[in-house]
């Protein structure tokens, strides 16, 4: 069973939650704030399991009836508020939370509500939640998970304990991935950096064959940028524009490649490269382009990322991006 000890990173958050269990000072509402894949749901589940564990320790014991129900997803005193639409409506909050809160716990000392993607609550839903937060029964614990706490009403935020979930440090995440997934260090490091310190994202990429294929394809393109023929460039641009699903991944990988080039320029052989297995290509590219040209390239890439939302012609935009980048290589230092 997952415990606080098995959660990677988030030391301050888990320490805080353990402390509140130890001292019995449990708040009625918590906000776990951090990007997708950072570990919000896992942390909330461990906290809920520990609060309800019959052994009464800081960690869930994994053996008692409550812990076993928690593992099986049928602990009756834990409710996951779900939604079907793109927003969480007032109906969702009323039927799954407000109306249920007055019902006493079945067995344990707490009745726990976990609201995932809480930023999707519309204003009406938030106002309904607020009413419950104003006068909660003693046993109620409401845990809001969100990627954007600023989307919550200030009145909700002021009634909850806010716990920011920060990226897991690169070194720690790398070692964890190596041990857990049995992958070599260069791959683990690449995933740690690419995921922005989000273990959930790193893990799903590590297990995804599609991600590996995408990565290989993007790397072969990146290696060829300085000498790529125009028709090949156009072909890449076409492929990029067509597959909208994978654009974010591809742009992310290009961004870390540029980061590697900048790092190599700065500290040479000491650079902790994300694409360390491609160090020969990184070295030769870093030596044939200036800092300024790389920064400009990085900025242009950020524009493409932002433009995806406004639906510009991606094929042309990406093709121009590659062309300009190649020109900067040709111009040399």
Three-point CA angle 264, 205, 317, nearest 5° = 65
Rule CB under 5 A: say whether 61 interacts with Zn ion: yes
Among the listed ranges 50-58, 166-174, 228-236, 287-295, the one in contact with Zn ion (CB under 5 A) is 50-58
Compare residues 55 and 172 and give the one whose CB is closer to Zn ion: 55
> Which helix H or strand E contains 246, and what residues bound it?
helix 244-267
Q: Which is nearer to Zn ion, 55 or 217 (CB)?
A: 55
Please state, in angstroms and as integers, the Cα–Cα distance from residue 312 to each residue in 12, 126, 296, 306, 316, following that order: 43, 35, 20, 10, 9
Q: Which is nearer to Zn ion, 61 or 323 (CB)?
A: 61
End-to-end CA distance of the chain: 56
Residue reference for tokens 């951090």: 34
Q: Which is nearer to Zn ion, 56 or 164 (CB)?
A: 56
Tell me: does residue 98 bind Zn ion (CB under 5 A): no
For residue 144, the surrounding DSSP H or E stretch is strand 140-146
**In the complex, minimum distance from the CB of residue 61 to Zn ion, in angstroms, rounded to a whole number:** 3
Nearest CA among 176, 177, 174, 190 for reference residue 282? 190
Decide: is 67 part of the binding site for Zn ion (CB under 5 A): yes
Is 53 a binder of Zn ion (CB under 5 A)?
A: yes
Q: List 113's β-bridge partners, or say none.
A: 79, 142
Which segment (65-73, 129-137, 245-253, 305-313) binds Zn ion by CB under 5 A? 65-73
What is the C-alpha to C-alpha distance for residues 102 and 224, in angstroms, rounded to an integer? 64
Considering the complex, state which of residue 109 and residue 200 has its C-beta at the smaller distance from Zn ion. 109
Size of the site for Zn ion (CB under 5 A): 5
Euclidean distance between CA atoms 271 and 35, whole angstroms: 27
Q: Does 130 bind Zn ion (CB under 5 A)?
A: no
Window contacting Zn ion (CB under 5 A); options: 59-67, 112-120, 189-197, 260-268: 59-67
- In the set 41, 64, 130, 166, which binds Zn ion (CB under 5 A)? 64
Residues of this chain that bind Zn ion (CB under 5 A): 53, 55, 61, 64, 67
């Amino acid at each position: 069973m997952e415990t606080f000890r098995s959660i990677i990173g988030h030391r301050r958050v888990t320490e805080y939650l353990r402390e509140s269990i130890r001292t019995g000072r449990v708040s009625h509402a918590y906000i776990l704030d951090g990007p997708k894949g950072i570990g919000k749901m896992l942390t909330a589940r461990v906290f809920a399991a520990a609060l309800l564990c019959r052994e009464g320790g800081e960690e869930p014991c994994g053996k008692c009836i409550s812990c076993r129900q928690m593992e099986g997803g049928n602990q009756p005193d834990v409710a996951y508020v779900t939604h079907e639409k793109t927003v969480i409506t007032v109906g969702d909050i009323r039927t799954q939370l407000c109306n249920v809160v007055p019902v006493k716990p079945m067995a344990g000392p707490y009745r726990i509500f976990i609201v995932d993607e809480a930023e999707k609550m519309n204003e009406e839903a938030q106002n309904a939640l607020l009413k419950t937060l104003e006068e909660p029964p003693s046993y109620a614990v409401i845990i809001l998970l969100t990627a954007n706490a600023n989307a919550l009403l200030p009145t909700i935020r002021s009634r909850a304990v806010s716990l920011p979930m920060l990226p897991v440090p690169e070194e720690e995440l790398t070692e964890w991935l190596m041990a857990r997934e049995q992958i070599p260090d260069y791959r683990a490091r690449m995933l740690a950096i690419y995921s922005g310190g989000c273990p959930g994202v790193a893990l799903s990429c590590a297990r995804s064959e599609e991600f590996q294929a995408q990565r290989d394809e993007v790397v072969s393109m990146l290696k060829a940028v300085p000498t790529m023929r125009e028709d090949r460039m156009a072909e890449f641009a076409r492929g990029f524009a067509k597959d909208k699903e994978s654009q974010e991944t591809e742009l992310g990988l290009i961004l870390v490649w540029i980061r590697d080039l900048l790092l190599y320029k700065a500290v040479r052989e000491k650079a902790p490269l994300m694409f360390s297995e491609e160090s020969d290509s990184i070295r030769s590219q870093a030596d044939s382009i200036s800092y300024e040209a790389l920064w400009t390239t990085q900025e242009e890439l950020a524009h493409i990322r932002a433009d995806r939302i406004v639906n510009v012609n991606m094929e042309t935009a990406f093709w121009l991006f590659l062309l300009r980048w190649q020109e900067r290589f040709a111009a040399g230092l």
